[in-house]
Structure 1
């Protein structure tokens, strides 16, 4: 059976009516999505959250772009991922590989070198490309610097079949993407204050130009935790958390970053302030992230581990993060984590932040925007946690999904119902 469909306002004819193209008036239905991730939880969760908001979680395929690890590779992460891979393959060449290349004057990596890790990523890229072209229109969602080259290559190889959404600003060659979703604070370098903080000849390296039409600006990071997810989590964690005394203060502790540096001083300030407000808490649950330095977690454990009102996650049992989001009455979060703050601020519950004065560059702009919105308050140790205050919850993920739907419609595309 011959089926005629329209993609990008141009007719495309397929002989097989079972393909993913389905005629709906002058629109083509997109039934699948491919997520390209760098493997980092923060980046991948943004992709998963957007795809979930679009209703395509049941039709998603995830590919990971990986870098070589071990040895000097940790010092080479500033290189483009393709260059990093090739350099690693060259350094892993055996003597016989080198001898063979010298004999034939070849600069192509031999099979033995490819088998040491590079071939697997090439095969994944090839499978991804084949599926993309073979099965009709697909939504590709990528996040993180390492995914840019792979995602844009797919768009270039199959421009009529790929609608490409890049999360986090790619910094250059914006025409490679159909849509870019990035926080407003990525443009901090364009502000008067931002330009004071960086030399003019370096601005082009780290500061994007003014937002183009296909750039969607958010306040924080996208995430997976919508009202439905939290309702399910509330039920799943009911037996463990429902009996805790109220109000429940959830404390999420991250780790220092280049733009939010801190150490034991902040840890001591945190526990000291918590001791001052514990009278107003029914219970406190504390969690550390994978980035939390041991010297920080040790201080918290030593100072608060024996308090009967305090529960500290040991990192061994099931991660309580989702249950904590659902059951918390208020949050206290270290300033380094944009993701954790974005998730907490999407609940509409009171969010206290500690350490924001230690943040610089675009992190300071992010905290300023949250405070202006009334979503966060600086934690001082003088709070009454039972006091509730309101603000418009962050809704970045749903708003970004709406923009994706609009952009797809402009191309004559609709999502699978």
Structure 2
């Protein structure tokens, strides 16, 4: 039996689902409310009596053979489940929780993160669950909407503010000006906001791109994100999200990264590596044509997880 532990964060949940699928596992998804104590001090999860979560789906016996989790917020809960299982559960954790990697059976981190060890697997970018069948199904729903639009179709995936910076009004205005230049060159824009896109940016996109051929989706109705990934001839993504850039690069289409606000540190290193390997180019108000190699680490990591489970004699009882 396999559990996925999620606090509802979409980007983290889909990475867990992608890994489980690639490993051939059929998981039970446990939606939990991590306790403030384990969020702040995940290292104490091994202490008897510390609960695995503060609410949500029950975390009770029978205990799983495999636990897949992602992000620091669920790391403590995963470690607590391992303790409660008597050490039986195999923990595969995605993203660096800033704990000793030896506390996990398999730790999957982007190569720009510092965690290293014999049980650490590094990847270029985030894991991706969106296989061709999923994308094709999403595309079919939106094909009538884009059928009459001028080509090329340029998918524009817009993130938003994070703990490193805010999308300033001036920066958003510059970005919209670059998108209008693409439109004026003859392309159609398929714009999808994300849950992190604030209301001011959504309004600026609607108003600033009014009259441009295409679709500007800012939150009403079904999210076309996957459909736009599938239907677009080329893509533009804002630089704030590793997940968004990774999913775009997995399509094998030209991906242009828009640096709405300057990046520093590990995220800057990640984008530098994508450019160096030919996966992306900087967005400067035009769309280039090239054939980048698809970026999809998920099959490799899934096969490695399955192999390590076999070595331990732990095959999920699906």
Per the normalisation by structure 1, the TM-score is 0.68
1:169 and 2:96 matched: yes
Report what 1:98 is aligned to: none
Report what 1:393 is aligned to: 294
Report what 1:254 is aligned to: 159
Taking the TM superposition and a 5 Å limit, the aligned residue runs for 1:296-335 are: 296-307=201-212, 309-335=213-239
Report what 1:410 is aligned to: 311
Paired residue total = 312
**Aligned counterparts of 1:294 and 1:36: Cα–Cα separation in 2:** 30
Q: CA deviation at 1:44?
A: 0.9
Contact 1:38–1:65 under 8 Å retained in 2? yes
**Aligned counterparts of 2:176 and 2:77: Cα–Cα separation in 1:** 45
Tell me: CA distance 1:388–1:119, structure 2 relative to 1, closer, same or farther (3 Å): closer
1:36 and 2:5 matched: yes
Tell me: CA distance 1:64–1:294, structure 2 relative to 1, closer, same or farther (3 Å): same
Q: CA deviation at 1:299?
A: 2.1
Report what 1:66 is aligned to: 33
Report what 2:73 is aligned to: 146
**Aligned counterparts of 1:260 and 1:354: Cα–Cα separation in 2:** 15
SS at match of 2:200: helix
**Aligned counterparts of 1:166 and 1:399: Cα–Cα separation in 2:** 16
Tell me: CA distance 1:242–1:290, structure 2 relative to 1, closer, same or farther (3 Å): same
Report what 1:124 is aligned to: 58
**Aligned counterparts of 1:315 and 1:151: Cα–Cα separation in 2:** 33
Q: CA deviation at 1:150?
A: 1.6
Q: CA deviation at 1:63?
A: 1.4
Equivalent position to 2:251, from 322, 347, 368: 347
Contact 2:38–2:77 under 8 Å retained in 1? no
**Aligned counterparts of 2:148 and 2:42: Cα–Cα separation in 1:** 49
**Aligned counterparts of 2:113 and 2:89: Cα–Cα separation in 1:** 26
SS at match of 2:93: strand
Contact 1:43–1:143 under 8 Å retained in 2? yes
Tell me: CA distance 1:290–1:406, structure 2 relative to 1, closer, same or farther (3 Å): same
Tell me: CA distance 1:156–1:375, structure 2 relative to 1, closer, same or farther (3 Å): same
Tell me: CA distance 1:375–1:357, structure 2 relative to 1, closer, same or farther (3 Å): farther
Contact 2:167–2:261 under 8 Å retained in 1? no
Tell me: CA distance 1:240–1:356, structure 2 relative to 1, closer, same or farther (3 Å): closer
SS at match of 2:284: coil
Higher helix share: 1
Gaps of 5+ in 2: none
**Aligned counterparts of 1:294 and 1:173: Cα–Cα separation in 2:** 39
Q: CA deviation at 1:142?
A: 0.7
Contact 2:14–2:129 under 8 Å retained in 1? yes
For the pair shown, which has the larger CA radius of gyration, 1 or 2?
A: 1
1:271 and 2:205 matched: no
